[in-house]
Each structure stands twice: as C-alpha cells, then as structure tokens.
Amino acid sequence: MNVRVQIAGLKTKHDALNAVRFGADTIGLVVGVTHTSGDEVEPQLAREIFLSLPPFVCKTLITHYTSESKNIDLINTTKPTAVQLHSTDISVNSPPLLRVEACLSASPVD
C-alpha cells in the first residue's frame, strides 16, 4: 500500500513549493469557506500557487461552498486537479456534485 500525503492550508507559493520539496504528493488550498478561516486564500492566489507546482503534484481545491455555480466558478478560476468539498449538505450522488465532477474533468489546465 502506498501512502500519499496532502498538505493543506498553505497560503504562499514558497510554502507550497517547500511542502512538495519535502515530499507532499498533494497541495490543498482552502478557497471559499462559510466561516472565518485563517487559512483561506483568494481564488486568484490559489491559481498562481497551483500553476507554480510541478505537474505530478495533485492540486486540491478545498471549499465549503455547496452552490454548484460557486464551485464551478472556483474550479474555472483556480484550475485544480481535484476538489475536496466540506459540507453536510452534499451527498455523493447529488446532481450538483456530479456536475462539479464533470466540470473538473473537462476543465483544461492552462
């Protein structure tokens, strides 16, 4: 069994690149929360950080938004390779989640 490591809550390119240098497989950036959070970054900064990472690193958008349109906007802005949704309002088979998944798989990375 291979263990993969995600480091989340980073706020700078420097920290993200250091995490990768020390072995992180995934960098998770918190964008779009529904409460006060000290580790949230703006969507444009998340995009810049994701674009600075090597191609083999998984770029995970972490959000608390339950709105399909807000999540699709975040995906289109940040260009992640994965999305981590935190909410008790979303089930695995909900249509908005399936549409977000489809958007993510169809979204080209610049």
36-57 per-position pLDDT tens digit: 888 999 999 999 999 999 999 9
Q: How do residues 66-101 score in pLDDT, each as one tens digit?
A: 788 888 899 999 999 998 887 666 555 555 554 555
Question: Residue 96, exposed/middle/buried by CB under 10 A (0-12, 13-18, 19+)?
Answer: middle
* 77 torsion bin: left (phi>0), alpha (psi -120 to 50), beta (else): alpha
CATH superfamily of 6-106: Aldolase class I (3.20.20.70)
Task: Write the pLDDT tens digit of every residue in 5-16.
Answer: 999 999 999 999
pLDDT of res. 110: 47
- pLDDT at residue 94, as a whole number: 56
Q: Which residues contact 33 (CB under 8 A, 6 or more apart)?
A: 40, 63, 64
d(C-alpha 78, C-alpha 93), whole Å: 24
The CA angle 81-83-87, to the nearest 5 degrees, is 180
